[in-house]
């Protein structure tokens, strides 16, 4: 087979999964990562059944399951602790063939990294541009201009993708959703059920990660760019009176463990994920609000699909058109659903609207709620073509 070269911009979950899918398919792969060291943020992540099936297709499902907490099926609660809707892990397993998993991001990142040959990953390399016709990739290596030639270029460079801004100049930059989020992964001895709780214009989620760790996140409507001198104190003030074990989780959190990010998304969906030899993937293609826990799951789906359609002996632009057709409708539907979930859940602030929503949720049979969740999590990796 000819030595065909794929260059991936970005070593996040999406970029590493894509690099692995292409490597397994027979591509010579180089990943250019802007950061001086490969890393993920110090928080947890929920991987839904679709992501777990994608990881299974990459040969990593068992390993990742071992590092996380299986059965994080979850449920919805009101801020005072009343259950609005419960999702039974076993029922979910029966319906989807696999449960959701809570795992530390650093552990997932490490597994993906270690599955690739070490020489694939080049750190300190900031991609600036790529030519969709020739596949030339221009980047800065430790500040010095450099160039690589690729047959296939993957833009997995995240929310503020340089490749998207260069090759999709009409696409507006990511928009602020109106919400900010705090998160932390902490050691916590007590068993905690996976749950998302909604209060007026606020949400608190908790996910067991295994290994005695819990991941919590909190989000609320807020002006863009707002920061508190002590972010943990800001979370305590907003959520410290919510149901158990939220006060205990916050009490067990060291201030240095708390990350805060404003939430942005691509409010105007792209008309294509592909330009010639260049394909966007993950947040670069479809950054969405985290309210369905699907951003990274969709990035893994993208990666596995790319590996399935991109035969190293085949026509790259044609393969990327197939990638676009397979991925754009689904990932953009999931992004729209995530934004709807935000409006229906965390962003809702009017007491009457909240009362109606909560009543509706309590009246919905858990099977129906489960089927609603399964709609987005039920995905099967495509066969290689």
Ligand X SMILES: Cc1cc2nc3c(=O)[nH]c(=O)nc-3n(C[C@H](O)[C@H](O)[C@H](O)COP(=O)(O)OP(=O)(O)OC[C@H]3O[C@@H](n4cnc5c(N)ncnc54)[C@H](O)[C@@H]3O)c2cc1C
Between CA 133 and CA 140, with CA 138 as vertex, the angle to 5 degrees is 170
Smaller CB distance to ligand X: residue 220 or 358?
220
Smaller CB distance to ligand X: residue 13 or 192?
13
Residues β-bridged to residue 147: 138
Does 210 bind ligand X (CB under 6 A)? Our answer is no
- Report in angstroms how near the CB of residue 373 gets to ligand X at its nearest: 13
Give the per-residue contact string, 157-196, with ligand X (x = CB under 6 A; - = no).
xxx--x------------------x-x-------------
SS3 307: helix
Give the per-residue contact string, 26-45, with ligand X (x = CB under 6 A; - = no).
------xxxx---------x
Stretch in the footprint of ligand X (CB under 6 A) among 10-18, 130-138, 362-370, 372-380: 10-18
Residues β-bridged to residue 140: 126, 145
**CA-to-CA separations, 105 to 57, 116, 209, 210, in angstroms, rounded:** 19, 17, 10, 12
Does 140 bind ligand X (CB under 6 A)? Our answer is no
Stretch in the footprint of ligand X (CB under 6 A) among 79-87, 114-122, 291-299, 367-375: 291-299
Does 112 bind ligand X (CB under 6 A)? Our answer is no
Q: Please list, in sequence order, all residues whose beta carbon lies within 8 angstroms of the beta carbon of residue 318, skipping any fewer than 6 positions away.
A: none
How far apart CA 261 and CA 264 sit, in angstroms, is 9
How far apart CA 248 and CA 214 sit, in angstroms, is 12
Does 203 bind ligand X (CB under 6 A)? Our answer is no
Stretch in the footprint of ligand X (CB under 6 A) among 190-198, 225-233, 290-298, 344-352: 290-298
Q: Among residues 176, 171, 177, 212, which one has the least CA distance to residue 191? A: 212
- Please, are residues 208 and 159 in contact by the beta-carbon 8 Å criterion? no
Both tokens assigned to 223: 């002006």
- Among residues 4, 6, 12, 107, the one that binds ligand X under rule CB under 6 A: 12
Max Cα–Cα distance, the chain, nearest Å: 64
- Report in angstroms how near the CB of residue 186 gets to ligand X at its nearest: 15
User: Which chain residues interact with ligand X by CB under 6 A?
Assistant: 9-15, 32-35, 45-46, 126-127, 156-159, 162, 181, 183, 217, 261, 263, 282-284, 290, 293-297, 299
């Amino acid at each position: 087979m000819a030595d065909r070269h794929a260059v991936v911009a970005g070593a996040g979950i999406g970029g590493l999964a894509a690099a692995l899918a292409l490597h397994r398919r027979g591509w010579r792969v180089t990943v250019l990562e802007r950061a001086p060291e490969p890393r993920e943020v110090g928080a947890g992540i929920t991987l839904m059944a679709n992501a777990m099936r994608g990881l299974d297709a990459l040969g990593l499902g068992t390993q990742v399951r071992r590092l996380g907490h299986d059965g994080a099926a979850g449920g919805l609660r009101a801020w005072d602790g009343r259950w609005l809707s419960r999702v039974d892990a076993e029922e979910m397993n029966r319906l989807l063939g696999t449960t959701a998993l809570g795992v530390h991001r650093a552990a997932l990142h490490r597994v993906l990294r270690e599955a690739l040959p070490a020489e694939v990953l080049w750190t300190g390399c900031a991609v600036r541009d790529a030519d969709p016709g020739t596949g030339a990739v221009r980047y800065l290596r430790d500040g010095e201009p450099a160039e690589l030639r690729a047959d296939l270029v993957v833009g997995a460079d995240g929310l503020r993708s340089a490749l998207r801004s260069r090759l999709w100049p009409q696409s507006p930059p990511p928009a602020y959703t109106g919400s900010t989020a705090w998160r932390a992964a902490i050691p916590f001895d007590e068993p905690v059920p996976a749950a998302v709780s909604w209060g007026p214009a606020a949400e608190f989620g908790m996910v067991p990660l295994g290994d005695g760790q819990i991941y919590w996140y909190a989000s609320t409507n807020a002006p863009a760019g707002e920061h508190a001198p002590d972010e943990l104190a800001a979370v305590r003030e907003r959520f410290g009176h919510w149901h158990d074990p939220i006060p205990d989780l916050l009490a067990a959190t060291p201030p240095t463990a708390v990350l805060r990010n404003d939430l942005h998304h691509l409010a105007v969906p792209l008309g294509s994920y592909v330009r010639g030899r260049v394909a966007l993937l993950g947040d670069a293609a479809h950054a969405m609000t985290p309210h369905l826990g699907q951003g990274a799951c969709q990035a893994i789906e993208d990666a596995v699909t790319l590996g399935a359609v991109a035969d190293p002996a085949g026509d790259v632009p044609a393969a990327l058109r197939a990638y676009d057709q397979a991925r754009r409708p689904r990932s953009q539907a999931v992004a729209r659903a995530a934004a709807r979930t935000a409006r229906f859940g965390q962003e809702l602030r009017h007491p009457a609207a909240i009362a109606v929503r909560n009543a509706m949720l309590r009246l919905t049979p858990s099977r129906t709620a489960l089927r609603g969740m399964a709609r987005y999590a039920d995905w099967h990796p495509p066969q290689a073509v």
